[in-house]
A and B are shown apart, each in its own frame.
Chain A
Amino acid sequence: MYQKYNSPRVFFPRTISETLEMVERESNAVFWAGGTELSCRSMRKDLIDLPKTVISLCLVEELARASRSEYGLDIGAMMTFERLLRIGKSTLPTGLHETINSIGNLPLRNRATIGGHLALQTRIGDLHPLLELLDAKIEIRSPSRGGRKRSQIKKIPIMLLEEKNLLNSGELISKISIPTDNWDIAFHRRILPGNDENKVLIFTALASVEGGVLSECRMAFSDGCTGILRDREIEAHMTGQKLPLGYRELKILDEAIIELTAPWKTRSYDRKTSMACARDFLKRIEDNNINGMIL
């Protein structure tokens, strides 16, 4: 009964170099990590629509490890979200534990990998803005160079969907390096009005407070498809402000967010929600900041 379908070819490399050799030979091959995105999109009941050639990464152990390095925490691209959570909240960079917990449900997190999440071509995942704020770097390996190419997670301005792709064909995300700087507060909100994936708003922020003064603050906004928005000027302006922020500072922040989200012209709801999220974040900082001490 199944013979009428063309069966895809599946390769099982055991090392990264073997993987890169294979992708050099099979230029149309697609890497298979957790496969959640491809499987979820497949609408056939008995078969999963796969590309003609698949390179399964499930046996590449180098990609499924996490280790400490001078830069911070190095996470292999094949680490599933649940395995990452098992590392422990205190070991993971600030905010990572909470953000991962908000993605999908337990069985899905058992399959979804951090590399697959970052390689998504169709949308921006929940972790993108946080990793951008944490100054994470991804290590991309490409067959043509045979070596390593380190590139920072790109800050992507509003642009065409095609232009925001991090990866060229045949390139493999091997690991994600995240600095383990200590932030006092991490804040993540995913707003999904009407459960419509096309109207998602992701707000992520980090802050540190010292003696009742905002010593550092970072904020990122994303509509889940066009890019990540971040305004370093307003972040710099907020740094050094005494808490709670005054009316003037809040007004400057609101205006900066309106300007930042200007490309979302047709989505006034999201622009207003972005402002509300930022206010919520500041309130959280103020609530936790009693007598100049973060609790």
Chain B
Amino acid sequence: MKISFVLNGEPVEIDTMPHRRTLDLLRESFQIRSIYYRCNNRGCGLCLILLDGNPMHSCLIPAFELRLRDIWTMEGISARKEFEDLVAGFELANAKLCSFCAPSRALVAEALLKSALNPDMKQLRFTAEAVKCSCNSTLRIIDGLEKAAEFRRERLRVSKV
């Protein structure tokens, strides 16, 4: 099955099995190394991608669902200028993310800041809990997200409501 989609801003096309896991497809055919298969479909969140702007588990998405969709991974968003807000926010909160969860945390944080520049506590908590990794406490991750939101507001010159 021929599937065309947009990967990190570039239109791509591939001939593959429709039931191939997106995780496997991206890792093997597009050399996307920031996503990991760890939990046997238990929702650990280490394989997150942004599908049309929403964070989703790439291990649960069959390839046929990618048709005409917009996909972003860490490789894509880290090349953007706004990525600096996330790095600065987590650094300021002293949240030193491990190499496994950092890409997924960055993606889910980016999705949050795209939808809400003034995220409330519930949104922050859900974002922090989207990735199950014990390298940092949830409170520290929430702090990092809040600070990243501050940097993003500053960049866009939006004041806090």
Please report A residues at the B interface, Cβ cutoff 8 Å.
2, 5, 7-8, 10, 12, 35-36, 39-43, 45-50, 54, 56, 58, 82, 101, 104-108, 110-111
A110, B56: Cβ atoms closer than 8 Å: yes
- Between-chain CB contacts (< 8 Å), 28 pairs: A2-B17, A2-B20, A7-B17, A8-B19, A10-B1, A10-B18, A10-B64, A35-B62, A39-B59, A39-B61, A40-B60, A43-B40, A45-B37, A48-B20, A48-B21, A50-B18, A56-B65, A58-B65, A82-B54, A105-B43, A105-B126, A106-B130, A107-B56, A107-B130, A108-B43, A108-B57, A110-B56, A111-B57
Q: Whole-angstrom distance from the CB of B101 to the nearest CB of chain A?
A: 13
B54, A8: Cβ atoms closer than 8 Å: no
Q: In the complex the two chains form, what is the Cα distance from A5 to B20 in whole Å?
A: 11
Q: Whole-angstrom distance from the CB of B35 to the nearest CB of chain A?
A: 12
A50, B54: Cβ atoms closer than 8 Å: no
- Given known contacts A2-B16, A39-B41, A56-B65, A107 and B21 CB-to-CB distance under 8 angstroms: no
Interface residues on B, range: 20 to 34
Partner of B48, one of A7, A35, A82, A107: A107
A35, B1: Cβ atoms closer than 8 Å: no
Q: In the complex the two chains form, what is the Cα distance from A39 to B37 in whole Å?
A: 14
- Given known contacts A7-B19, A105-B126, A107-B48, A50 and B62 CB-to-CB distance under 8 angstroms: yes
Q: In the complex the two chains form, what is the Cα distance from A50 to B20 in whole Å?
A: 10
Residues of B94-127 whose CB lies within 8 A of A: 108, 122, 126-127
Say yes or no: is B24 at the interface (Cβ < 8 Å to chain A): yes
A46, B20: Cβ atoms closer than 8 Å: yes
Q: In the complex the two chains form, what is the Cα distance from A100 to B61 in whole Å?
A: 21
- Given known contacts A12-B67, A35-B60, A107-B48, A40 and B18 CB-to-CB distance under 8 angstroms: no
CB-CB under 8 A from A2, the residues of chain B are: 16-17, 20
